[in-house]
Amino acid sequence: MPVCAKTFAEMGGAYARASAIGDIVELRLDCLHDLDFEIERFASKLSRPTIITFRPSEQGGYRNLTRREREAFWARDLKADLLCDIEADLVVESSFDWPHVIVSHHDFSGVPDDLEEIYERLAATPARVVKIAVQADQITDCIRVFHLLDRASSEQRELIAIAMGNAGIATRILGPSRGAYLTYGSLEDTSATAPGQVNARQMRSVYRIDEIDRETMICGLVGMPVMHSVSPHMHNAAFATAGVNGVYLPLEVRDVESFVKRMVHPRTRELDWNVRGLSITAPHKSSVMELLDWISPDALEIGAVNTVVIDNERLLGYNTDVHGFISPLRERFGSLKGMRVAVIGAGGAARAAVWALKRDQANITLFARAPIKARSLTENFGVQCEALSTASFRGYDVVINATPESPATAAQLAGARLVYDLIYNPIETQFLQEASEAGCQTLGGLPMLVAQARLQFELWTGKTPPASVMHDAASAALRP
């Protein structure tokens, strides 16, 4: 756990908090405002294995340190059992207490073409540990980092290898299970010392990093962006409750075709990992379909896949959004046959909602800001579309918001029986507030999220977790 503070007094307090959570604490001495510090006296009070770092800004540090300042600092006799993270430009030209050295290389511009040569150069030093951190622009950049870990393990060389940034989260969470000497977790969400660093409490409580091994079943959320999602909280809680050796990761993917080909499909993937299931979110729900070996009939009709199952050498596509959407309505009303339902929106969420409502024989009217944009929906499903600007929802049994906005006022919603917002974050949306003001019953998007996630989990594992487990995990993650 890295600790960054402006003064030694602040650093001492942060060190104590980090020691209660982490196995190893890193003191980022380049964060200190006063360079005239007494690290020797401070080091004598350390209660955990500790790394000290004094990194220049051009290599990810917090101070514009000259080479002379760095050399003078590392020339000290620290008289403490510390690990010293020293940049490669100093290590290759100097002599150190090698059993206490981590020789490191950082590249914040991307993954260098000569990554393997950099590893070989650093591994040739007598340093106890080699550290390489590179910026991942695409999730496929993780492949070379994982390959380095495999190589280091085969050569019995201690290595820390990390792909920084949101696209590299998998290397941080899976790294130790693949032989990494350590991984980094921040003290707080706001105190990360490198791009993509995950909160240490979440590493243990959500991702259960101490239980991950090479046999762990890997599932994840594929989209762009994904870091805001509560799906990892829900699915990892379900894995823990079901007693399944599994982990669910946020997987930030720009190029879904490259990701599926190089990291997922059993016939072409370049990575040896036990990936078994994926949730697909925006913007890939339609584009992923052409990469699959089989797609369920309902997903084909809707034109979107949100769930992928890796079954032997085939990728199977499903749409659990439909089940998630309709389940709370069925629980509330039983049958929807003949009910008047208004759907606001003209995108993918609206399409899935209309398909499910048609199947349950509801009477549907579509409302859109620009009805012409809903033409494909109206033609495919035979529903009428009206302009949202002049809409009144009086007399409707259900009004559904399938947009990311608050598209109607209390005056428009007055007289509707139930208002259903598919948005789950925040739990109480502006749209639902307008509905409450109008005297309507309300339903938020969290029950839908939980219902579709439970079906996903069942498709991946054959087990159905309690809805309360997923709901409580999501609610806790959504609390301010």
Per-residue pLDDT reduced to its tens digit, 314-342: 999 999 999 999 999 999 999 999 999 99
| Catalytic entry in 261, 285, 337, 463 | 285
Choose which CATH entry (3.40.190.10, 3.90.79.10, 3.20.20.70, 3.40.640.10) describes domain 2-214: 3.20.20.70
Half-sphere CA count of 395, side-chain side, radius 13 A: 5
Which residue would you say has higher pLDDT here, 80 or 396?
396
CA 382/CA 318 separation, integer angstroms:
24
pLDDT band at 35 (very low <50, low <70, confident <90, very high): low
pLDDT greater than 90 at residue 232: yes
The strand pair at 441-443 and 418-421 is best described as parallel
Residues in the chain: 480
Q: What is the mean pLDDT of residues 250-266?
A: 98
The DSSP bridge partners found for residue 188 are none
CA 170/CA 177 separation, integer angstroms:
11
Taking the CA atoms of the chain, what radius of gyration do you get in angstroms?
26
**Residue 103, pLDDT score:** 96
The SS3 assignment for 350 reads helix
Q: Where, residue-wise, is CATH 3.20.20.70 in the chain?
A: 2-214
pLDDT greater than 70 at residue 144: yes
For the domain covering 322-444, report its CATH number. 3.40.50.720
Fold of 220-319: Rossmann fold (3.40.50)
Q: What is the mean pLDDT of residues 386-405?
A: 96
**Residue 86, pLDDT score:** 94
Q: Where, residue-wise, is CATH 3.40.50.10860 in the chain?
A: 220-319
Peptide bond connecting 465 to the previous residue in cis, omega within 30 degrees of 0:
no
CA 330/CA 362 separation, integer angstroms:
12
Phi, psi of 265 (to 5 degrees): -65, 125
CB 140 within 8 A of CB 271: no
Q: Where, residue-wise, is CATH 3.40.50.720 in the chain?
A: 322-444
Structure tokens at 228: 């805001």
Other Cβ atoms within 10 Å of 216 Cβ, number? 18
Q: What is the dihedral of CA 377, 380, 383, 388, to 10 degrees?
A: 10
**Residue 337, pLDDT score:** 97
CB 100 within 8 A of CB 119: no
**Residue 40, pLDDT score:** 67
Lowest-confidence region among 30-39, 110-119, 178-187, 285-294: 30-39
Other Cβ atoms within 10 Å of 13 Cβ, number? 12
**Residue 79, pLDDT score:** 62
Tell me, yes or no, if 285 is annotated catalytic.
yes
DSSP code, position 324: H
Task: Give the torsion sign (CA, 169, 170, 173, 179).
Answer: negative
Mean pLDDT of the chain: 94
